Amino acid sequence: MAVWYLYSLLLFLPVFVFTKHFLNKIQNLPPTLFPCLPIIGHLYLLKQPIYRTLSRISEQNGDVLLLRFGSRKVLVVSSPSAAEECFTKNDVVFANRPRFLIGKHLAYNFSGMSWAPYGDHWRNLRRISSLELLSASRLQMLYHIRADEVKNMIRNFLKCQDCLVDLRTSFFELTLNMMMRMIAGKRYYGENVEDVKEAKRFREFHAETFKLSGSAPIGDFIPWVKSWDLEKRMIECQKKRDEFMQDLDGFFLMPFGYGRRSCPGDGLAMRVIGLTLGSLIQCFEWSRVDDEMVDMSEGVCFTLQKAKPLQAKCRTRAAMADLPSRM
């Protein structure tokens, strides 16, 4: 019996591969990789960290590649020109989001702006965000908050001359402090935290949110496999988020389109980080532990997360000797 099953499998695999290849040609789909296994597709190729695995696959097989993760088709795009074509000429085609478990539990059953399907509801959220939250006048009104947080970061670096600085953590906390001061008028990271207990609650559920967001439940790709423990953690995390937001006097709305039909506030975070980075380069000299210059060239793509967190030492530039008095 076992031999019969083996023969059947050996006969089925070539037929399956040939059929998939033939169908791809007919449908004019992008090139794919072989073998694409039944049920799991190309999931067998993935290793942590996934973004580096996809980067390596793209380097070896081209800028545009069609993979299959279980029951889902995945288009891997790794060239600026192809990405521009996807998000300009064909933006409506790529406007929807897959119905992942995280969108169900952490985005109010796909009704939040980042996970809502492209349609009237999403366009209404975008309109509200553009007019009420991310208009030029509203951003200018809140400019002092962004400037104040950048000054706070520079003050902290002035206190730790020649000490190691974790830039990733610093930028992460800078961005969240800016967002929460604009939303709720409070900062939750670093010094001068008004409510320590409330800040601890925020940091805990926010860290859990990021951790869950980076998870990839197998049920998202193979529907009949359930991830009960992960789903329970998402439900508990969303409960904590709701309780926290209900205790605030302000409101919370994620005002970003995540690449779908840009609105005036798209890229705000990147512009803030870019201006902050420019200020830090202007004010400080940066070096590694061995006093060599900081290497910013790791990886083949600017947005790839570094394998090791970027830690560096800062020293006030000679031309900025009077910087502490100006801060």
Residue 105 lies in a domain: no
Residue 102 lies in a domain: no
Which are the contacts of 24, defined by CB distance < 8 A and separation ≥ 6?
31, 32, 66
Which are the contacts of 141, defined by CB distance < 8 A and separation ≥ 6?
none
User: Could you tell me if 129 and 88 lie in one domain?
Assistant: no
Residue pointed to by tokens 């009077």: 322
User: Could you tell me if 89 and 175 lie in one domain?
Assistant: no
Long-range CB contact pairs, 124-133, < 8 A, 24+: 125/253, 126/257, 126/261, 126/263, 128/253, 129/253, 129/255, 129/256, 129/257, 129/263, 129/265, 130/263, 130/264, 130/265, 133/253, 133/255, 133/265
Cα–Cα distance for residue pair 28/22, rounded to 1 Å:
10
Global confidence as pTM: 0.74
User: Could you tell me if 77 and 125 lie in one domain?
Assistant: no
User: Could you tell me if 174 and 320 lie in one domain?
Assistant: yes
More confident residue, 263 or 133: 133
Cα–Cα distance for residue pair 78/94, rounded to 1 Å:
15
At 183-199, the pLDDT tens digits run 888 899 988 888 899 99
User: Could you tell me if 320 and 178 lie in one domain?
Assistant: yes
Laid out side by side, the sheet with 311-316 consists of 164-166, 311-316, 284-287
Predicted local distance difference test score (pLDDT) of residue 2 = 56
Which are the contacts of 298, defined by CB distance < 8 A and separation ≥ 6?
304, 306, 307
Residue pointed to by tokens 């789909």: 29
Domain hosting residue 284, numbered range: 120-326
User: Could you tell me if 130 and 278 lie in one domain?
Assistant: yes
User: Could you tell me if 60 and 191 lie in one domain?
Assistant: no
Strands (E), the chain: 64-69, 72-77, 164-166, 284-287, 311-316
User: Could you tell me if 211 and 277 lie in one domain?
Assistant: yes
Cα–Cα distance for residue pair 30/3, rounded to 1 Å:
37
Predicted local distance difference test score (pLDDT) of residue 324 = 62
244 in Cβ contact with 201 (< 8 Å): yes
Predicted local distance difference test score (pLDDT) of residue 303 = 46
Closest Cα partner for 168 from 110, 210, 222, 220?
Answer: 210
Which residues, in sequence order, are bridge partners of residue 72?
69
At 139-172, the pLDDT tens digits run 888 888 888 998 888 888 888 777 778 888 888 8
Which are the contacts of 74, defined by CB distance < 8 A and separation ≥ 6?
42, 66, 67, 68
How many domains would you assign to the chain? 2
In this prediction, residues 101-119 reach a mean pLDDT of 89
The answer on pLDDT for 274 being more than 60 is yes
Residue pointed to by tokens 């200018």: 140
pLDDT band at 262 (very low <50, low <70, confident <90, very high): very low
The answer on pLDDT for 310 being more than 60 is yes
User: Could you tell me if 54 and 165 lie in one domain?
Assistant: no
In this prediction, residues 242-250 reach a mean pLDDT of 79
Which tokens belong to 150?
A: 């950048």
Which helix H or strand E contains 52, and what residues bound it?
helix 50-61
In this prediction, residues 25-46 reach a mean pLDDT of 83
